[in-house]
Amino acid sequence: MYEQLIPCDHCGGRPTVGRSQRLVCKLPNPQYDYTEWGRMSGPPRIGDRLPRPREVPKTEPLVCIYCADCGMQTPWEATGRDEKAAMDRCGAVWNRRLARPEAEKTDVQRLVEREIGAADIPAVLDLLSRTDGNWEEMGPMFSMIARRLVDATVVTFDSWPIDPVLNDAARWRKLIQLAKWVEMEGERYVQFPKIYSPAEHDEMLFEDRIATAVDSMPDRDRW
């Protein structure tokens, strides 16, 4: 769903899922009304998922979609049993609120909205460069795809940063080149090399330390 959310209409920011909770029972409960657990404690706050003590009035979990930059927000939806469905409902409200005219929902467009993301930009450029003539028909299609790519880039940039993924992929390939088959008791095993990790890296995070160790090995033979 994230990829299908349109960037914030107000500031162009990234829509984000917000979670919170609110009282299930709307009736006054004089014992708690004026405390942080009661009706007078104000509207749900984004990020408030702290479990409440057992004795205080019950709450239900909520979701919304909000703009992390300017705070524009959909109404809260109670998640009920299916949080994904509640998020879908919020997403529909979020996209409907925008003043963007709804284009015709052809199958192609639905496919584009669901499947095309920032990672496809090179493929689309390639397609564009190989298109010869027939612009009457292809033009609007490319314009739709371009719009979609711009949206997807804004929305997914922070959620799925591509750089660390590519770096990890490069490390993995390096390791594969150094892996060996070993036979033990008639079975085959993949054996990765021992990788030196200096003691001065003790303070680093586990994953960072391993990444640094792999990076310090000679570059792989790219042939």
Binding site for Zn ion (CB under 5 A): 8, 10-11, 13, 67, 69-70, 72
**Burial group, residue 147, by CB count within 10 angstroms (0-12, 13-18, 19+):** middle
Integer Cα distance of 39 and 193 in angstroms? 61
* Dist. CA 36–CA 172, nearest whole Å: 50
How many Cα atoms sit within 13 Å of 109 on the Cβ side? 10
CA atoms within 13 A on the CB side of 145: 19
Nearer to Zn ion, 11 or 146 (CB): 11
Q: Which is nearer to Zn ion, 11 or 125 (CB)?
A: 11
What is the spatial distance between Cα 91 and Cα 86, in angstroms, rounded to a whole number? 9
Q: Tell me the closest approach of the beta carbon of residue 6 to Zn ion, in angstroms.
A: 11
How crowded is residue 176: how many other Cβ atoms within 10 Å of its Cβ? 11
CB of 15 to Zn ion, least distance (A): 8
The residue (of 23 and 76) whose beta carbon lies closer to Zn ion is 76
13 vs 18 by CB, closer to Zn ion: 13
Burial 94-123 (b: 16+ CB within 10 A, else e): bbeeeeeeeeeeeeeeeebbeebbbebbee
- Residue pair 156/5 in contact (Cβ under 8 Å)? The answer is no
- Least gap, CB of 144 to Zn ion (angstroms): 24
Closest to Zn ion by CB, 15 or 44: 15
Rounded to a whole number of angstroms, the minimum distance from the CB of residue 219 to Zn ion is: 43
Nearest-approach distance from CB 7 to Zn ion, in angstroms: 8
For Zn ion, the closer CB: 23 or 67:
67
Angle at 178 between CA 173 and CA 179, to 5 degrees: 95
Q: Whole-number minimum distance, CB 101 to Zn ion, in Å? A: 20
